Each structure stands twice: as structure tokens, then as C-alpha cells.
Amino acid sequence: MNRSSNHAPQWGEFLRRNSTYVILLAIVLGFAVLAPEFLTVNNLLTVALQSTLVALAAIGMTLAIITGGIDLSVGSVAALSGALAAGLATRGGLGTYPGLLIGLMAGAGIGLLNAAMIVWGRIPPFVATLASMAIARGLTLVYTQGRPIAGLDRAFTFWGSESLLGVPMPVWVLLVVAVLVHLLLSQTALGLHIYAIGGGEETTRLAGVNVGVVKFCVYVISGATAALSGLILTARLWSAQPNIGVGLELDAIAAAVLGGSSLAGGVGGIPGTLAGAFIIGVLSNGLNLLEVPSYNQQVIKGLVFILAVMLDYFIKQRRAVRSGRVPSTG
Amino acid sequence: MKRLTWLLNLLVLAALVLAACAPATPAATPTAAPSGEITLGLVLSTLNNPFFVTLRDGAQKAADAAGVKLIVVDAQDDSAKMTAGIEDLINKKVSALLINPTDSDAVVPAIQKANAAGIPVFTVDRGANGGEVVSHIASDNVAGGRMAAEFLCKAIGGKGNVVELQGIAGTSAARDRGQGFNEYMSQNCKEAKIVAQQTADFNRDKGLKVFENILQAQPEIAGVFAHNDEMVLGAIQAAEAAGRTGIVFVGFDAIDDAVQAVKEGKLAATVAQQPALMGQLAVETAVKYLKGQKVEAYIPVPLSLVTKETVK
Amino acid sequence: MTETIPRLRLEHVSKAFPGVQAVNDVSLEVYGGEILALVGENGAGKSTLMNLINGVVPLDSGKIYLDGQPVTIDSPRRALELGITMIHQELALIPQLTVGQNIFLGREPRRWRFWIDWKRLYAQAQAELDRLGIEVPVQARVADLSIAQRQLVEIAKALSYHARLIALDEPTSALTERETETLFRLVRALRDQGVALIYISHRLEEVFELADRIAVMRDGQLVAVGPVQAFTPAEVVRLMVGRELTEFFPKVPTQRGEPVLRAVNLRAGREVQGVSLELYRGEIVGLAGLVGAGRTNLARLLFGADRPEAGEIWMDGQRVEIRSPRDAIRLGIGLVPEDRKSQGLFLGQSVRFNAGAGLLERLSRLGFIDFRRINQVVKTIIERLRVRTPSLNQRVRNLSGGNQQKVVISRWLTLNPKVLILDEPTRGVDVGAKAEIHALMSELAAQGMAILMISSELPEILGVSDRILVMREGRLVAEFSREEATQDLIMQAATGQLERRVAA
């Protein structure tokens, strides 16, 4: 009966809390041994750079998943934001920064649409965001007429292609966003309410929390981080491509789940999600360095994913305690 | 729980086996001590299209023959993956990069990174709009147009009314194919007369509609050349519907439907690109350059003609 | 210490839902410093009445006064602000959050508006627990607590709102006797502090032990209110159901027949540590024990829902392997699970679907389901069990607990099993339906079925069973005949003060 007094943070407990990091570390060590080029500062910065795309989208996705929802529109939102920003900055004649701002707001706007459908329309998040995924992709194609938009100026490409103190700008952006959202989740009432909704929406409502407002915040943030992902990719490619971000939502979900988020809601966190995104990034980079043919790469990535999730489940089963990665103190 | 452990073991095993059997290519590099240090990186826009799979096979064969190592990366039609793949190969310090861009603009920053790292870049099939590229290896569309004209001229006996269905205005394919075709016709097939030149946007539906109108206006047509197969297949449909026979149709690209039409005798010929040769030339050009020889900025890849005689 | 102005006064309160007058012109007062028991069958309107007070649903007509002042309660938030809290039947705690986070959810102590002051939150939560003498670690995740601990946290949460009126809806349904005692002490202490309490329960013995006054509801109306001394339990039951119930647990004497099922030395983890038992035709065996003693685990082993690590099961003298519920059903074993909503029913489907689901394979020809036959069978059984439903197409979600349980049982009856295991068959079921379910069990036994009933309600165990087994910590620790069993003996065995020879 008195199971609550388990003050034994030993090996198993450590594994349980940190399984994502352990897996990331294992993969990094594996590649370090197998590929001499892997463990160089230059290559690690490249991996960080390549991971930002998925990581940014996954940050918003994590919030949606913690509430027990999902946001399938992130890939299309990334494309729409990139295209709008590039188009307005170049042929629209608005200039780079207004263009970037409007691109970001467009992402938040799709998030607003998602939230409206979910909160007011009572449409399940999966269905609502599936619809906006199609809408945002369609708007992108309408706006670009299916053709890339090039001719970005240096102020725009700066955010994708240049470095500060040796670290690429996208990584800085990711760091700032990750820290902000992590603080939001772990230190603010809004963050606690996001976890609470995932654990029991009705209970949270009865506790006097305005659940609708919380969900609006979640999907707007998710739209905004997806937009950031698209803007950075556009800056990195020096052009807006109407077909970017296809399948990004799946990578983002994978990153969140690898990072310990539960699709049932109530569980998850930004550090874990970042580790999850890095696992995906490290795998792509490492397998390329190991010269694994691309067809095999896809199989290996799928296997590693299921392996990681099972390992996580396995470790938690052994402890026979339901887990939860909610911050307990400040 | 036991079953779970068992499954985990199985998965680990499967992953190991896959990873182990994966790099089959380096083992295949047989000889050649001096050129053995050469490693080429080939980044393809997609490996989900038979054209590029054949291109890779041609490149691999040429690499084996030259005794160099070839690393292939598939961008899965995703510009972000293409950039990441190029970055990975730069970090891997390959000797040269052969890039088949997903998009001519999006690839530019990645090419500049390679330039900064001192790695020579070659583009294959599709060009890049910036960065320093040593050579561009692509099909010679002008020669292809000329080849189509030569066949058509002979097939109609050197005289009669000829129609040209053009691709989307301003695209390099439409421009080059049209140029080659018209050059040959005006110089070597003077008795034939080009009575109509209209654009049908590389599209089958438009090919049908445009050719329907031409059929109305022209009671006698001896031959048709279209800048791609889609348009020519549309035109064949229009001719069949109107009950007009005896027209020689020539298309471009040798897509599956067109090859089938050649077999059935509806289509006289279609011009085929040669992806295997393209891959081979790309590797050979890069190796030549790395060995210090001079290479041209543009390496045209010859095309071939698919007719009832040559079709398999 | 009852006050003169009622804490809460309802004046001609009514609420209708499509097709039902859920609350019909109810006028009722609750005073500070008293415990008012609210009783009634499921569907009598108790929950709707509570939801009106708690701001979950709006009033159609009538007035609510708090301390003599008219108030409008349009949301749970508003109810909280007015000092009204409710402890629900289904626990309103979020398992992934800590105790402290749960207590202060929605009103976390803040710094600079947005940031939670964790130090203050946990200090205040600790203070709340200390005030009530509840010993639960404030930073523990609720998922790691026992049901009883959660119940206590729930109460601490309700009290931390400085509630002046607390409604408790079936708070003891998941508690053991001892935990119930703790809860009662707490409830009495609150009353003595001047809090007004509304206590909803199906267990009349609790009501008579705890309440100062009793209010009885039937069909949306208040049919009686008065001090507890003015009623006898039989009267309350009569008021609730509107008719006389001669016996709580009608027991038809039966003849014990051949042995049907024999389990030998079953083992599965810590929950079942070598259990042997035998079930006979025509006999109802009651399985008693504390929550967590392993009774449900044992039932699941017999039904093939879990696999034993060791042990044998024999049916009709033959050794059998039960690898899955499918095997068990084929052998003629049925299980009415404890959690009927998630394990026993397809809530969103019709009565017809739920009752007929077991027949699909049996009544089909060439792979095509014979819906006409299924319909006939289901109709007969539904009528025989007196399931109160407007039609066979009614969604099970909309039935009362007792009728839902009857639908689960009717599914088994369509299959005519030899052994039926019922896990807490009358939990959350109102008094009238409870008696009907008991009568049905007797009837089935009389027809030769072997019945194993798990129950945490001792009067039920004593009233229904021919033979009583007691489990403790994964073992069968005692066996009593109907004649020799008493509440005391069973409790002693269940709590480990008594061990007794166990047959088989």
C-alpha cells in the first residue's frame, strides 16, 4: 500500500528518467567508433544545423502531444511561411524583415485556425490539422504557382547560412526557442495546465482552468515554431520551395515520441524532444558518413525508432511505475 | 516480458546485419593504387524514379571501371535533404561532388559550401543557378531535336506539311529541342514545310486540343514533332478521333506510354535520353578533372532514337 | 452547532434534459455543521442536482441562495469562488502531476504573473495536508499513490479552496473498510469545523452511520427529508424505489451439484501465489478480501485474460489449457469484469449490439451473421433480465449503472456458460437493481450454473454466497460456510488476524 516512499534513485531509476539521452549517447558513440569523420567539431555543428528543421517543428508538436492532441499541419505550415516570406520580401517588395514577420504570423494564423476548429468546432485535433495540412499546402502552391521563389537578399539568407561565434544561426534560433518553450512548460502556469489537460481535460476544466485558452496557445505556438522551421529552411536554401516540409510532421512526431512524449498525453518535455530530434539528425548524418545506401538507411531508421521506443517502454515496465516527465520543482 | 526481450534482440540483430551488409560498394573497388584515393560523392534528387536509378548504375559502373569510390546519397526530392546530404559529403571530404539538384536555386548555398571547402562540383541533368560548377553534364537537347528532324524528314520522304508542338515557352528543354529541330529542317529538309508551330505546355490534354484545331485548319499533314511524349500522345488521340491516318508522329523522352505506342505502331519514334551514359560521363569527367586534365564546361550526353526497329 | 441561516438553500429548482425531467421542483436546505445524506437510485437526479450546485449545468428555473444571498453559479470556477466544491465519484486528479500540483491546479501561487512559485506551492500544499493529518509526500506523482491516498489528496484539494460546502459523490466506492474509517473521521472533523457537507452514497449503512439528515430523491423529485433518527433503512429503500423490497439479498436455497472447475496451485507474480479452489454446479461462492488482495487477478487467470506462471485448471474432470479469453469462453467460463465501462461494454453501441456481441460467430451461416436469430435471442434475454431500456437500439452509455450491468450479464447468458465469474457485480448499481442482480444470480445457480462472485461489500458476500473464500496477499486464507460466516470473521481473515484451513 505504501509504495509512495520510494527513495531509491539507483541505476534503473536513472535509466528510466534518461533513456532518450542514453540512446542518443549510444548512437553518437557508435558512429564515433565507426566513422572517423563523425566526431569532429565541424561535423557535429553540421548535425546540429541539420537537426534544427525537425527540432523546431517538434517543439511545437510536443506541446500539442502533451495536451493529448497532435499537429499534422507543421510541414505545410513550414512551406507556406517560407513561401510567403520569400515572396513578400522579393517580388512583393516589402523587404526582408516585414516578409519574415508576415511569414511567422501566417504560421501562427494556421495555428489559430487549428485551435478554432479544435476548441470551438470540437473537431478532433488529428482531423482538424489534417484539413489545415491540406489547406496550407494548397495555399502555398496557389501563392507560388508551384515554382520556387529565389532572389533573397543577404539579410534573409543570414538566418540560414551564416554563423555567429562559429555556431550556425539556425542553431542559435533553436536554442533560444527551446529555452523559452522549456521555461514556459516547466515554470509557468500555462505550462502546468498543458500537462494537466493531457492528464485529464475535464478535471482541468473543473479546476477552473480555461482549457480553450490553453489550447489556443498550444496550437499557435506550434504553428509559429513550424513557421520558424520553414523560414530557416528557406534562408538555408536561399529560395522558397513549395514542396518543402513534406513528411516533416512525421519526423516531428517521431522526435517527440523518441524524447519520451506519450501520444496519450500528459507526458513529454523539450529536452527530451531535442534529444529525439538529434537522434534523427545524427542517424541521417552518420549513415551518410558510413556510406550506407539510401534504401537501407530508411529501414535502419525505422528499426532504430521502434527499438528506442521499445527500450524506453521496457525500462519503464521494469520499474512497474507509470512514468511522467512533468517537472516537480522549479 | 520474455517475448519483449526476444523481440528487442531480434531488432538489434536486424539493424546490425543491415548496417554490416550495407557498405557493399567499397569492397568492390578492385585495383588502381593512385586513383584509389579518389572518392566521388553523387547526390541525386531522387532514387524513386527509374531514370535516376539507371543513372546511378551507369555512374557506379564507370566508377568501378576507373577504380574510384562512389558514395551515393538520395535526397528523396527534398531540397533540405539534398543540402544535408551535400554537407555530410563535404564533412566526409570527398574528392568531388556530382550533384543532380532538386532545384537549380535551392542547391546554390550547398554548392558554395563545397566551393569554400575546396571540393570541385559537377552538376548532372539539371543545372545550378549559382556557385562554381566545373562542368554540367546533361542531355544534348539540341542534338535530340536534330535527331528527331532527321528521322521525320526521312519518314515523310523529304516533303509535305509538318507540325511542331512546342513545350512551355521559356524552358530550356523547349528552347533546345525546338532549335535543333528547326535548324535541321530548314537546312536539310527544305522541301518539307512547317505549317504550324503551337505550344501545348508539355501536357497531354493540351496536345489533344491544340492538335484538334490544327487538324481543322490543315487538311493535309505529313508529320508531327512534339517537344515531349505527353503532347504527342494527345495529338495521336486527336488524329484517331478525327479519323485521320498516314501522319508520322515523333515524340521526345521515351516514357513508358510512348514506348508502348511505338510498339503498337501508333508513334513512329521517340527520342530517348541515356541516363546510364549520363552517369558514366559524369564520373569520367570528374575523374579526368581530378587527375589534372582539362574538361569542358558543358558535357553533352548523346541521345538515342526509339523506333519500331530499335524498341525492345 | 447548526446555524439558523442555511449555508445553501435551493428554491423550486428544476432542470430538464431532452426527454427527461432530471430535477423537478426541488427545494432543499443544507446547514453549516451538518452532514446531509442524499440518496436515491441511479437516475433519480442526484448527480444533476449536484451539477447544478457546482455550476456544471445551468438551471432551468428556481433559485439558489448561499448564506441567505441569491447567487448565480454559471461555472465550476464560480462555484469554487463561492466556496462550493465537489468530490466526484471518478477521481478528479491528474495522475501525471504531483500531489502539490494537483491541489493547486488552476490557482498556482505565482511570481511576476506568469511564473509558478514552486517553493510556495509545495509549502502550502504541505500545510494543507498537515492540517488534515494526511501523510502523503507532496512531491509524489499521483500515479504512484494508492487509491486511498488519492482519495485523501482529493479531499485535501477540495478543502484547500476553503470550501464552505462540500459535496461527496460515492467517495468510498474504491476504499477498504479501514480507509473508509479514515475518511469518515475527516468528514466528521469538517462538520465540527462548521462546513456543510452533502454526502451521496448507495451504501445505506454508511449513510446511517455518518449523516445527520437524510434527503431521498426519486424520479427527479425530493420525496423525503428528515433527521436520520426519523428513518429506518427499510423505509429509506422503500422511499427510493417507491415500492416495498422484502429482502435485500433474496437467496434461493440451492443444491450443490457436481464439481465443474478446479484450479490447482495457480501462480502469477505477487498477486496470485498458489491458489487452489473448486467450484460446483448450483453454488454461489463469494470471494472476499481487501482491495489489492489479488481477487481480480485470480479471476483474470481463470478467464484466460492473463496467463498463469504455474498451476493447472481442470474443467469437468479434464485438464485444460486456457491461453486466452477465447479458450475460456469455448470451455464455458464467463467473466463480468469489475470495470464494466471499459472492459465489459461497448459504451457507444446499442443494447442489441452489446448483448448480442458474443453470438456473432455462433449464429452465423457461411460467415454471414444471422441477425434475425440474434435479435430473437437478445430480445428474450433482455426481457427476462428486465433491462430497462426504451429499445434495443438505445446506446448503452445512456443506461443506468444497474441496467448496464444487466446488459453485460445478458451477453454471457446468451452463451449459456457453465461457470460465471462476477467481479464486483453491484458496484455503482442502485438498490433496486442490486436486488434484481442478486435474485438473478440465485436463479442462475438454481439452474445449475457455478458462480464465483468477488465483492468488497461484506453484507453482499454474506447475503448471496453459499460458501465464502477470503483472499489476502495473493493467497486463499480462509473458507467459511454460509452458516458460520460473519462480518467479523471475514474481516479478521482479510486483514491477517485469522488463518483457516482451506479446502481443495
Answer whether B79 touches A (CB < 8 Å): yes
| pLDDT for residue C450 is more than 80 | yes
Given A4, A202, A209, which is nearest C105 (Cβ)? A209
pLDDT above 90 covers what percent of chain B? 54
Q: List residues bridging with B305 in a β-sheet.
A: B271
Distance CA B7, CA C231 (A): 64
Quick one: residue C43, left, alpha or beta (phi over 0 = left, psi -120 to 50 = alpha)?
left
Which has the closest alpha carbon to A72: A125, A129, A118? A129
Distance CA B240, CA B234 (A): 10
Closest approach of chain C CAs to the CA of A20, in angstroms? 19
Determine which helix (DSSP H) or strand (DSSP E) holds C392, and give its type and residue range.
Answer: none
Q: Nearest chain C Cα to A330, which residue? A: C118
User: Is B275 in contact with B54 (CB distance < 8 Å)?
Assistant: yes
Q: Nearest chain B Cα to A244, which residue? A: B78
Which has the closest alpha carbon to C414: C375, C334, C359? C359
| pLDDT for residue A78 is more than 90 | yes
User: Is A185 in contact with A191 (CB distance < 8 Å)?
Assistant: yes
User: Is B256 in contact with B50 (CB distance < 8 Å)?
Assistant: no
| pLDDT for residue C20 is more than 80 | no
Answer whether B25 touches A (CB < 8 Å): yes
Strands C333-336 and C419-423: parallel
Answer whether A44 touches B (CB < 8 Å): no
Closest approach of chain C CAs to the CA of A133, in angstroms? 30
Confidence of residue A329 (pLDDT cuts 50, 70, 90): very low
| pLDDT for residue A70 is more than 70 | yes
- Angle, helices B275-290 vs B50-66, to 10°: value is 40
pLDDT above 70 covers what percent of chain B? 88
B217-221, B282-286, C16-20, C389-393, range with the lowest pLDDT: C16-20
Q: What's this model's pTM, rounded to 2 decimal places?
A: 0.75
Average pLDDT, chain C: 84
Query: What value does the mean pLDDT take over residues A85-113?
Result: 92
Contacting subunits of C (3+ beta carbon pairs below 8 A): A
The verdict on a CB contact (< 8 Å) between A294 and B26 is no
Q: Is A155 exposed, middle or buried (0-12, 13-18, 19+ CB in 10 A)?
A: middle
Distance CA C335, CA C439 (A): 18
| pLDDT for residue B17 is more than 60 | no
CA distance to C66, C159, C162, per residue, from C3 (Å): 13, 20, 18
Closest approach of chain C CAs to the CA of A215, in angstroms? 15
H helical segments located in chain A:
11-34, 41-66, 74-89, 96-115, 125-144, 154-161, 169-187, 189-199, 201-206, 211-237, 248-258, 270-289, 294-319
Strands C284-289 and B248-252: unpaired
Closest approach of chain A CAs to the CA of B90, in angstroms? 9
The confidence score (pLDDT) of residue A104 equals 95
Tens of pLDDT, residue by residue over A44-53, are 999 999 999 9
Is the alpha carbon torsion for A310, A315, A321, A324 positive or negative? negative
C144 vs C401, higher pLDDT? C144
Task: Look at residue C315 and give its three-state secondary structure.
Answer: strand
User: Is C66 in contact with C41 (CB distance < 8 Å)?
Assistant: no
Contacting subunits of A (3+ beta carbon pairs below 8 A): B, C
H helical segments located in C256-302:
295-302
Which has the closest alpha carbon to B79: A275, A232, A167? A232
Confidence of residue A323 (pLDDT cuts 50, 70, 90): very low
Answer whether B29 touches A (CB < 8 Å): no
A22-31, C370-379, C476-485, range with the lowest pLDDT: C370-379
Spell out the domains of chain C, with CATH numbers in brackets.
8-241 (3.40.50.300), 259-494 (3.40.50.300)
User: Is A173 in contact with C82 (CB distance < 8 Å)?
Assistant: no
Query: What value does the mean pLDDT take over residues A7-35?
Result: 77
pLDDT above 70 covers what percent of chain C? 93
User: Cα–Cα–Cα angle for C261, C262, C263, nearest 5°?
Assistant: 125
The confidence score (pLDDT) of residue B9 equals 58
CA distance to B217, C269, C418, C422, per residue, from C302 (Å): 87, 15, 13, 12
- How far does CA A130 lie from the centroid of its chain? 17
Query: What value does the mean pLDDT take over residues C438-454?
Result: 90
B24 vs C432, higher pLDDT? C432
Answer whether A180 touches C (CB < 8 Å): no
| pLDDT for residue A325 is more than 50 | no
Could you give the maximum distance between any two Cα atoms of chain C, in Å?
75
| All structural domains of chain B with their residue ranges | 38-133+275-301, 141-272
Let me know if chains A and B touch, i.e. at least 3 Cβ pairs under 8 angstroms.
yes
- Angle, helices A96-115 vs A125-144, to 10°: value is 150
Quick one: residue B38, left, alpha or beta (phi over 0 = left, psi -120 to 50 = alpha)?
beta
Which has the closest alpha carbon to C426: C394, C464, C388? C464
A83-87, A205-209, C209-213, range with the lowest pLDDT: A205-209
Question: What's the full length of chain C, in residues?
Answer: 504
Closest approach of chain A CAs to the CA of C264, in angstroms? 28
| pLDDT for residue C448 is more than 50 | yes
Contacts of C139 in chain A (CB under 8 A): 328-329
Cell, residue B248: 508520322
Query: What value does the mean pLDDT take over residues A189-202?
Result: 92
Is the alpha carbon torsion for B25, B30, B32, B34 positive or negative? positive
| pLDDT for residue B283 is more than 70 | yes
Candidates A2, A263, A328: best to mutate against C (most CBs of C within 10 A) is A328
The confidence score (pLDDT) of residue B148 equals 94
Which has the closest alpha carbon to C290: C466, C483, C504, C461? C461
Answer whether B92 touches A (CB < 8 Å): yes
Answer whether A309 touches B (CB < 8 Å): no
Tens of pLDDT, residue by residue over C310-338, are 899 999 988 998 889 888 888 999 998 88
Closest approach of chain A CAs to the CA of B131, in angstroms? 12
Answer whether A329 touches C (CB < 8 Å): yes
Q: Is C201 exposed, middle or buried (0-12, 13-18, 19+ CB in 10 A)?
A: buried
Of the options 1.10.3470, 1.20.120, 2.30.30, 1.10.10, the CATH number for the domain spanning A37-291:
1.10.3470
Confidence of residue A7 (pLDDT cuts 50, 70, 90): very low
The confidence score (pLDDT) of residue B172 equals 80
Tens of pLDDT, residue by residue over B77-93, are 889 999 999 999 999 99
Task: Look at residue C191 and give its three-state secondary structure.
Answer: helix
* DSSP code of residue C142: G
Q: Determine the CATH number of domain B38-133+275-301.
A: 3.40.50.2300
Q: List residues bridging with C215 in a β-sheet.
A: C38, C225
Query: What value does the mean pLDDT take over residues B230-253?
Result: 92
Any residues with CB less than 8 A from the CB of B37 and at least 6 apart, and which? B95
Distance CA C226, CA C216 (A): 9
Give the gyration radius of chain A's Cα atoms. 20
| pLDDT for residue A2 is more than 50 | no
The verdict on a CB contact (< 8 Å) between A321 and C92 is no
| pLDDT for residue C452 is more than 90 | yes
A319 vs C53, higher pLDDT? C53
The confidence score (pLDDT) of residue C5 equals 86
Which has the closest alpha carbon to C452: C286, C328, C260? C286
Average pLDDT, chain A: 87
Tens of pLDDT, residue by residue over B97-107, are 999 998 888 99
| pLDDT for residue C393 is more than 80 | yes
A75 vs C205, higher pLDDT? A75
Q: Do domains B38-133+275-301 and B141-272 have the same CATH topology?
A: yes
Of the options 3.40.50.300, 3.40.50.720, 3.40.50.2300, 3.40.390.30, the CATH number for the domain spanning B141-272:
3.40.50.2300
| All structural domains of chain A with their residue ranges | 37-291
| pLDDT for residue A201 is more than 80 | yes
Tens of pLDDT, residue by residue over B34-50, are 445 899 999 998 888 88
Instruction: Scan for cell 480507509, then name that residue.
Output: C179
Contacts of A310 in chain B (CB under 8 A): 4, 7-8, 11
The confidence score (pLDDT) of residue C420 equals 93
Tens of pLDDT, residue by residue over C75-126, are 888 888 888 988 876 667 898 999 999 999 888 888 888 899 999 999 999 9
C167 vs B1, higher pLDDT? C167
| pLDDT for residue B24 is more than 50 | no
Tens of pLDDT, residue by residue over A82-98, are 999 999 998 888 888 99
A41-50, A248-257, B68-77, C339-348, range with the lowest pLDDT: C339-348
| pLDDT for residue A16 is more than 70 | no
CA distance to A200, A249, A263, B170, per residue, from A66 (Å): 11, 16, 7, 50
The verdict on a CB contact (< 8 Å) between A291 and B22 is yes
